């Protein structure tokens, strides 16, 4: 059992908290007024905050996040009035988080899956999805891969893209969602690497 904190109260938190709890982990949530208390002592912290504010908020939690694995599922975008990504607000959120939080082990994951319930039910898609891990600490990526397995992600669906500097690539996918929805309709989807 792992002590996990999910920061945020949106769709991602509502999808991940019950799934991680059902997998046997001790899970707590942190929202606007409880972020610091919730993050204290957690082995794994999930950044489910809006990407536009995550860096500023998490920088203020550096002491609480020291030593933890930070799973960054946020996309560094500002959301437009239509609910889709309008523009990037950070060049590489995961890398910026790692620089701002040097005592925290940042791993980018799950940010190319939508809507959020698919993060905890990847097998519900007709084609096996892929999720991408980016992080500088191999042990931290191993922790995240194990948690992904607890959420139903098979090992062959998890693609290690290397260091946190490579998170720019999966983070860019958020800008492609609007045209995909225009082409496919509002259906659940994720990227899939065919091999």
Q: For residues 23 and 17, give the distance between their C-alpha atoms in angstroms, rounded to a whole number.
A: 10
Q: What CATH number was assigned to the domain covering residues 3-190?
A: 3.40.50.720
Name the residue ranges covered by the structural domains of the chain.
3-190
Instruction: Kindly report, residue by residue over 124-183, the tens digit of the pLDDT.
Output: 999 999 999 999 999 999 999 999 999 999 999 999 999 999 999 999 998 888 888 889
Pairwise pLDDT comparison (162 vs 189), residue with the higher score: 162
Spell out the long-range contacts of 33-39 with Cβ–Cβ below 8 A and sequence spacing 24 or more: 35/7, 35/61, 36/60, 36/61, 36/64, 38/5, 38/7, 39/5, 39/7, 39/64, 39/65, 39/68
- pLDDT tens-digit readout, 53-64: 999 999 999 999
Q: How far apart are CA 127 and CA 129, in angstroms?
A: 6
pTM: 0.95
Average pLDDT over residues 37-51: 97
Pairwise pLDDT comparison (92 vs 89), residue with the higher score: 92
Q: What is the pLDDT of residue 46?
A: 99
pLDDT of residue 161: 98
- SS3 category, 110: coil
Nearest to 78 by CA among 54, 47, 48, 45: 54
Model pLDDT, residue 78 = 84
What mean pLDDT comes out for the span 85-95?
88
**DSSP letter string, 70-98:** EEE---SEEE-TTSSEEEESSS-HHHHHH
């Amino acid at each position: 059992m792992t002590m996990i904190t999910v920061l945020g109260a949106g769709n991602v938190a509502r999808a991940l908290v019950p799934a991680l709890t059902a997998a046997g982990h001790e899970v707590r949530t942190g929202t606007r007024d409880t972020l610091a208390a919730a993050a204290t002592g957690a082995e794994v912290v999930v950044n489910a905050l809006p990407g536009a504010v995550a860096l500023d908020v998490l920088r203020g939690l550096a002491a609480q996040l020291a030593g933890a694995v930070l799973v960054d599922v946020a996309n560094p975008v500002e959301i437009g009035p239509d609910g889709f990504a309008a523009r990037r607000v950070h060049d590489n959120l995961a890398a910026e988080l790692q620089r701002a939080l040097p005592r925290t082990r940042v791993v980018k994951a799950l940010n190319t899956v939508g809507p959020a319930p698919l993060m905890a039910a990847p097998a519900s898609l007709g084609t096996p999805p892929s999720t991408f891990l980016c992080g500088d600490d191999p042990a931290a990526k191993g922790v995240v891969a194990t948690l992904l397995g607890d959420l139903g992600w098979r090992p062959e669906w998890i693609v290690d893209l290397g260091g946190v500097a490579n998170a720019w690539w999966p983070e860019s996918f958020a800008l492609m969602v609007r045209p995909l929805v225009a082409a496919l309709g509002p259906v659940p989807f994720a990227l899939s690497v065919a091999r």
